[in-house]
Amino acid sequence: MSKGKKAVPKAIEKPAVFGPDLDIRVFKREATPWPSRAVSKLPRDITQRALSVGVKADEEERAGTYFQIDHSVVSRAVQRAFKGKVEIMSTGEALRKYPWTKKYWWKLVNPETDKYTALAKSRWDQGYFIRILKGQKVTFPLQACLFISSENLNQNPHNLIIAEPDSEAQIITGCTVHPNVQSGLHVGVSEFCVKRGAKLTFTMIHNWAQNFDVRPRTVALIEDDATFVSNYICLKPVKSLQMYPVAYCRGANSRVSFNGILYGTKNSYLDVGSKVVLQGKGSRGEVVSRAIATDRSQIYARGLLVGEHEDSRAHLECRGLLLSNESFIDSIPELVGKVKGTELSHEAAVGKIAEDQIQYLMARGFSESEAEALIIRGFMDVSIFGLPDVLKEEIKRMVDASIAGAL
């Protein structure tokens, strides 16, 4: 190998266990650099697209911001009121500034898992480092945007998030593309460490394009008395999405909750799951998903609960709604009890909108399309996310706008 070239892991040809296999060689790596600037100074077509995934250009009611376009870190800043409570920077900067971060780097996600993790290891494109300092309660959400502006580009950010002991914060991450971009590959690696007594709520919103492929890879480690809430929303068409985040409830009385809303349209292929491993005494887990499939979309909704401690409990719930005869939903729950005393349960249901519900609403003055939209909005209720009111209302507006545009 020539000098200066990064070593390519052996797994670079290894397909993922789930989802369609991709030829990663067809995506380009060259990207025009973007200069640093305030998010509010970015072109309007970019800030409007960012807003569609919850990232505000004016940074109002946000504690801090990270914004990356293609392979360039454009902005990272913490609002004055939150300096000394939280840190935001690129992962490259964090590794240079804090040598101790290396003990977290590629320690939860295995780069040899599949070709996508191997690609992210060998062709790393920054990503964000967010650290909530010990004992700090960050009252406004932190926001991050991973944006792609170049057609058929491969972007591989690696994010590192650390919630120090007894801290509390909300993070909203929006991943999206320029309106002119139709294809590309995003491989986002994220490693979370939620330390003793901390509470971290992470909400990720995706708005990709019809021919775009997405492969997030996420692992979280949760310590004693800590809570991790992970929310995911995908409302727009995408060629293929495959993700299976994992949370290890290693600490005593650790908690994790995975919540997801999927809206499959056109020819989208969504293979989304969550895995919870209960390892600590009194650990608890929950996986709740809502999936809607229309047009010719395919959705695989997976969930895996693993009980490894006798005093542990978890529940998995998946509900699917079919809006066309050509769409498809497959709910795949798995429960693995490894010790006596663990309690694992699941419930799943897939079906169509009941005709009597439509007739009931129509009898009260709604048109058929209005009745259908009302039922779908109720089905995709964001209250399952447990968000603060301000953020809940923002995300509810995004869901409503997406439903209105699709129907």
Chain segment 135-145, per-residue pLDDT in tens = 999 999 999 99
Given this model, what pLDDT does residue 81 score?
Answer: 96
Q: How confident is the model at residue 1 (pLDDT cuts 50, 70, 90)?
A: very low
Mean pLDDT of 301-329: 95
Residue with more model confidence, 356 or 283: 283
Given this model, what pLDDT does residue 390 score?
Answer: 67
Residue with more model confidence, 407 or 385: 385
| Residue 179 buriedness (CB in 10 A; 0-12 / 13-18 / 19+) | exposed
389 Cβ contact partners less than 8 Å away, ≥ 6 residues apart: none
Reported as a single tens digit per residue, the pLDDT across 17-59 is 999 999 999 999 999 999 999 999 999 999 999 998 999 999 8
Give percent of the chain with pLDDT exceeding 90: 81
Given this model, what pLDDT does residue 235 score?
Answer: 86
Looking at the predicted structure, is the pLDDT value of residue 377 above 80?
A: no
Mean pLDDT of 336-347: 96
Residue with more model confidence, 406 or 279: 279
Looking at the predicted structure, is the pLDDT value of residue 5 above 70?
A: no
Mean pLDDT of 353-377: 83
Looking at the predicted structure, is the pLDDT value of residue 3 above 50?
A: no
Looking at the predicted structure, is the pLDDT value of residue 406 above 70?
A: no
Q: How confident is the model at residue 348 (pLDDT cuts 50, 70, 90)?
A: confident
Looking at the predicted structure, is the pLDDT value of residue 313 above 90?
A: yes
| Residue 296 buriedness (CB in 10 A; 0-12 / 13-18 / 19+) | middle
Looking at the predicted structure, is the pLDDT value of residue 134 above 50?
A: yes
Given this model, what pLDDT does residue 63 score?
Answer: 97
Tokens found for residue 56:
């505000």
Given this model, what pLDDT does residue 8 score?
Answer: 63
Given this model, what pLDDT does residue 351 score?
Answer: 85
Given this model, what pLDDT does residue 7 score?
Answer: 58
Tokens found for residue 182:
């139709």
Given this model, what pLDDT does residue 372 score?
Answer: 79
Q: Which is nearest to 201 in space by CA: 281, 271, 139, 156?
A: 139
Mean pLDDT of 126-148: 97
Q: How confident is the model at residue 4 (pLDDT cuts 50, 70, 90)?
A: very low
User: Taking all residues of the chain, what is their mean pLDDT, rounded to a whole number?
Assistant: 93
Given this model, what pLDDT does residue 311 score?
Answer: 96
Given this model, what pLDDT does residue 381 score?
Answer: 78
147 Cβ contact partners less than 8 Å away, ≥ 6 residues apart: 46, 49, 50, 67, 68, 69, 70, 175, 176, 177, 178
Residue with more model confidence, 359 or 35: 35
Given this model, what pLDDT does residue 2 score?
Answer: 35
Place of tokens 């600490």: 251
Q: How many CB atoms lie within 10 A of CB 152?
A: 15
Mean pLDDT of 247-257: 98
Q: What sign does the CA torsion over 91, 207, 44, 40 have?
A: negative
Residues β-bridged to residue 178 = none
Tokens found for residue 97:
């500034």
Reported as a single tens digit per residue, the pLDDT across 70-88 is 999 999 999 999 999 999 9
Residue with more model confidence, 125 or 392: 125
Looking at the predicted structure, is the pLDDT value of residue 217 above 50?
A: yes
- State residue 354 phi and psi, 5-degree precision: -70, 135
